[in-house]
Amino acid sequence: MGWGALSVSEVALKLAAEPKTNDKRNRIVVFTQGAEATIVATEGKATEYAIIPCPELIDTNGAGDAFVGGFLSKLVVGEGMDECCRAGNYAANVIIQRSGCTYPEEGFEVPAKA
């Protein structure tokens, strides 16, 4: 796009500012970065959200899909970006500690905010 060398946050901001058909809502750009912070850009600002440290990385297959599922589960009920990212990061964290894209049979529930 000819933007030159930019930080991840700057790219997210530029993408969020791109024109869109539905102008009733702001665009939300989310970049996950593995073991690095998740970056969310919307409404003219980029924010970093901490990931959940992973005690044992087994398999990253499905981690992105799990993040999206957790993130959207909070977004559709009107939660803020902090809760959306927390749920997304939690779901991805569960997935990467198991072989294949599987959930534990019991105990898969996003913990309450600390």
CA dihedral sign of residues 39, 41, 45, 49: negative
| Sheet (strand 36-42) strand order | 29-33, 36-42, 45-49
Alpha-carbon gap, residue 94 to 105, rounded angstroms: 12
Active site residue 65: yes
Q: Which of 23, 59, 65, 82 is catalytic?
A: 65
CB 61 within 8 A of CB 21: no
- Host H or E run for residue 93: helix 81-96
* Catalytic residue ranges: 65
